[in-house]
Amino acid sequence: MTSDTTLVTGAGGFIGSHLTEHLVHQGHRVRAFIHYNSAGRRGWLHESPCEPDIEFVSGDIRDFDAVHRATADCSRVFHLAALVGIPYSYVSPQAYLRTNIDGAYNVLESARIRRLTKVVLTSTSEVYGTAQRCPMDESHPVNCQSPYAASKAGADQLAISYHRSFGVPVTIVRPFNTYGPRQSTRALIPTAIAQVLSQKTTIELGNLYPERDFTFVDDVVRGFEAAAAGNFEGEAVHIGTGTAIAVSELAKLVAQLMGKEVSIVQQPKRSRPAASEVDRLICDSTRLRSRTNWLPSVALEDGLKRTIAWMEANPLEYRGQEYGV
């Protein structure tokens, strides 16, 4: 038996918390799977205005028993729980395999047993590596350049195999670069903003030349919803704007919007290994746009302003002087 409850794994994280709140606002009954911690904190959903309307379960995505209990009486699952920081995947590759591949298996196997009606699995544009053609549609070759990307590609392939072998109704959602409030400084935009907020006159970043396609988190969340409602079973579907900006130009734009004059320098310890760097990612989201009513609605400058305002209002969440993988 299933109900109309939607499970969100990784619900306390950056995108997961926004998605969970969005689903609550849309009137869905939501169960949030939160990584267990002894303090009982709920990530970005801790003290959220939506908290009273969310059913919380704690566990570890690597633990099948915990995941299987969480899927009880659910009709669908949005699977976002993952290790996502690329730099740390160079330090601890096995942690990414165990979390991202084993975690996907636990969700897929539980969905198979319980006969859920929809599984939305979160992927990443990083699985493609440097663009071989632009814009990049879902037929672009997979060419992983980091352990993180390889772990996500493995999870994607497992999901497709579960669809083809067992009929599990899986849709793979592949956002390009997401940004917005609550993102950690492991990502480019918040680390640039945090450094400016800390009164630094020099922004230290990794490689400055790569180009990325940035989509505001609210648009990404709507993309998840559209992908879940559309007929994309057994397919991957892209979320992105179709435009790209170089890292150095983006950092300049951030400083400009904050009214600061800064210099931008490459810091070797922040740079990816040369053969692991993904030079260019530009999304072709025609599949999603042509089958649903989804379109990105937040322009880059507007999204940056909203992100800057949120970080200014939440200074204790960020320490711009520090760098950690």
Q: What is the pLDDT of residue 304?
A: 98
User: Mind spelling out the 3-state secondary structure of the chain?
Assistant: CCCCEEEEECCCCHHHHHHHHHHHHCCCEEEEEEECCCCCCCHHHCCCCCHHHEEEEEECCCCHHHHHHHCCCEEEEEECCCCCCHHHHHHCHHHHHHHHHHHHHHHHHHHHHHCCCEEEEECCHHHHCCCCCCCECCCCCCCCCCHHHHHHHHHHHHHHHHHHHHCCCEEEEEECEEECCCCCCCCHHHHHHHHHHCCCCEEEECCCCCEECEEEHHHHHHHHHHHHHCCCCCEEEEECCCCCEEHHHHHHHHHHHCCCCCEEEECHHHCCCHHHCCCECCECCHHHHHHCCCCCCCCHHHHHHHHHHHHHHCHHHCCCCCCCC
Within this chain, do residues 122 and 187 fall inside the same structural domain, yes or no? Answer: no
**Same-domain check for residues 186 and 233:** no
Domain extent, residue 110, equals: 5-178+216-239
Same domain, 67 and 15: yes
For residues 27 and 66, membership in a common domain is answered with yes
Are 90 and 125 part of one and the same domain? yes
Q: Is the pLDDT of residue 244 over 80?
A: yes
Same domain, yes or no: 126 and 151: yes
pLDDT at residue 1 in the model: 41
Residue 43 sits in the same domain as residue 154: yes
Residue 40 clears pLDDT 70, i.e. is over it: yes
pLDDT digits (tens, 9 = 90+) for 119-138: 999 999 999 999 999 999 99
Residue 291 has pLDDT above 50, yes or no: yes
CATH code at position 22: 3.40.50.720
Two structure tokens written together for 259? 């009214």
Residues of the chain with pLDDT > 90, as a percent, come to 94
In a domain, 72, yes or no: yes
How many Cβ atoms from other residues are within 10 Å of residue 293's Cβ?
10
Q: 303 pLDDT exceeds 50?
A: yes
Predicted confidence band at 200 (pLDDT cuts at 50, 70, 90)?
Answer: confident
Number of domains in the chain: 2
312 lies in some domain:
yes
**Is 149 within a domain?**
yes
Q: Is residue 297 over pLDDT 80?
A: yes
* Cα–Cα distance, 20 to 6 (Å, whole number): 9
Q: Do 204 and 234 fall into the same domain? A: no
- Cβ neighbourhood burial of 258 (10 Å; 0-12, 13-18, 19+): middle
Q: Is the pLDDT of residue 246 over 90?
A: yes
Q: What is the pLDDT of residues 224-241, one digit of tens each?
A: 999 999 999 999 999 999
**Full-prediction pTM beyond 0.85?**
yes
Average pLDDT over residues 292-306: 98
Q: Above 80 in pLDDT, residue 206? A: yes
Q: Are residues 155 and 263 in the same domain?
A: no
132 and 196 in a single domain? The answer is no
**Residue 257, domain CATH:** 3.90.25.10
Domain match, 162 and 174 both = yes
Please indicate, yes or no, if residue 289 is contained in any of the structural domains. no
286 located within any domain:
no
Least confident of 60-64, 199-203, 253-257: 199-203
Q: Within a domain: residue 323?
A: no
pLDDT in tens, 70-99: 999 999 999 999 999 999 999 999 999 999
pLDDT recorded at residue 316: 77
Residues 116, 203 within the same domain: no
pLDDT at 11 over 60: yes
Mean pLDDT of the chain: 96
**221, pLDDT greater than 50:** yes
How confident is the model over 56-68, as pLDDT tens digits?
Answer: 999 999 999 999 9
**284 contacts 277 by C-beta, under 8 angstroms:** no
Q: Which residues pair with 171 in a beta bridge?
A: 120, 235
